[in-house]
Structure formats: C-alpha cells, structure tokens
Amino acid sequence: MEIVKKNTKLVVGIIIGVSLGCIGVMAATLASKDVSYTNQVSSVTNVQEAIEDLYNRSKFKFRFPNLSENGLRYTGINPTNYVSFHGELWRIIGIFDGKMKIIRNESIGEMPWDSGNTNDWESSSLYRYLNTTYYNSLNNPYKMMIENATWMVGGWKTPEITTSQMYEYERNTKGASSSSLITTGYVGLMNASDYGYASSGCYEKETLNNYGISICTNTNWLKLENSECEWTITSNSLDAGATFCVHPEGCFNHPMNRSFSVRPVLYLKSNVYISGGEGTHMDPYTLEM
C-alpha cells in the first residue's frame, strides 16, 4: 500500500479477503504493527498484504485448489513471482498460513537424494546437506528470514495420479505410508504437487506422469530448463529405495543414489515483507524483516 509518511506512527491491523471465482479466501488477521513515518512517499507491504497485492498484480492469478492449506499459489508459464533472496533470483511458489514458500530459480547442482538409497527425508544425505552445509553458507540477514518449517513428506506408489490426489497423499490424508510423513527443517525441496499445481493447463485433469505433453510444459513456470531430472521431496510409499523427480517429460520414480538437479526451497517467516520491486525477472521483489 502506498502511504504518505508524516513523522507519526500508525498501528496497522487489517483483514484481507480475496475472491477466486466462487471460492472465498480469508487471510488471517494481521497483527498490529507500528510503522514509523518520514516525509517521503513509500510502499510498505507485509506478508498478509502481499496476498492481495500479488493477486492483483500477477499476470497469471493465484489458484486456490486446496482449502486445507490456507494459501494461494502461482500458476502458468511466466507469472510475476520473482524475488531477490541472498543476492539470487528465487520464485514464490505461494503464500501459506502467512508465510511465503520460495524456490531458487536455478539448480545448485546435481547430487543424490540419499547416498544410502533410502527415502526417509529426515535421514537422507540431501536433507543433511541442505540443512547444514548449504544453510550455513547463507549470510545471517537471510538466514534470519527462514522459518524452521514443517514439511509434508508423505507420498504414493506411482505418479499415475492427479495433482490433487498426490497433494492428499503427501499429507497422508488418504492412507499413504512412509517412514516419516512430517519433518521439520530450514531447507527442503518442492513437493511433487507443487510442480503439478504450477501448470495452469494440467493440474485439474492430467496425471503427473503425463506432464510431458505440450499443454503441461507450456503452462508450467516451475519447469527447469536443460535438466534431465529435478528432485522433489515426495517419496515413493511402496518402494523405500525410490522417490519422485520431475523433468519436462513428466514425474517419475528414481533410485535415491542417482544424481539429479537440486533447487532449494524455503519458507520465510511471517514478519518478512516485500519492500519493493515488481516481481519480474528484471525487477524482482525485494524483502525485509
């Protein structure tokens, strides 16, 4: 919101509602916050206000496919969801329970999901690398923005299901089994359902293994170019030695000890807000706490 600042203090407390077709979405009430003013015109956008602001500005609107997640997602081929984090380009997957979920725009390289070939995320070699070596490589101002979040790491035995079905299996609401269905950590990976919902042309009708067809690849902003395969955090519930990866030809099971592309995913704390930018590749959103 644009405010003319007048060397006073304002206590902000609002409730935001966003309507998506016939679906009504109500964000959580924003906690009161002191805003110090100067004599300049400035834009102050915190996370809850960003829900409405990003929805109004985005070339491709948020979707709201699952009421249970209390959030909004970006979908389509090139939405305005770029954000600058740690001097790098990242993208906003969505805003859930007042926290932004972001993914690095490019891979940090190829590595195994687990060198021991076991798909328990919390004990995997990639979990340890992302939450120790990689996390500790980040500068403190950015590390402070990252939430020690809950990650849904359940899965299913095959990618031959729709995105909404995979979403439920990841949360174990349909009886999927895994050695560890929920874990915590600072850094993770996207869920297979995140990849599915990023395609505006396919998430309602195509199974994830069919995401290689043009209507899916041409409407999916999460598709990583020039990659054989990219790991997700979603495990195979039937085979303890396999998990799901995605690439332009679809979503498939692969052994854990194979080396594929890794893009870190983070949840930002609810007091992180957008301080500038337009969300484009050339002018990404900037963040402050």
Name, in order, each residue with C-beta under 8 angstroms of 259's C-beta and a sequence gap of 6 or more.
110, 111, 112
User: Which single residue is written with the structure tokens 């999916």?
Assistant: 220
pLDDT value of residue 104: 98
Low-confidence ranges of the chain (pLDDT < 50): 1-45, 65, 67, 175-179
- Residues 4, 64: Cα–Cα separation, whole Å: 33
Secondary structure of residue 167 in the 3-state scheme: helix
pLDDT value of residue 227: 78
Nearest to 259, CA basis, from 104, 109, 107: 109
Nearest to 50, CA basis, from 85, 1, 13: 1
What are the residue ranges spanned by the domains of the chain? 2-102+268-288, 107-262
pLDDT value of residue 187: 98
pLDDT value of residue 271: 86
Nearest to 124, CA basis, from 190, 172, 189: 189
pLDDT value of residue 55: 59
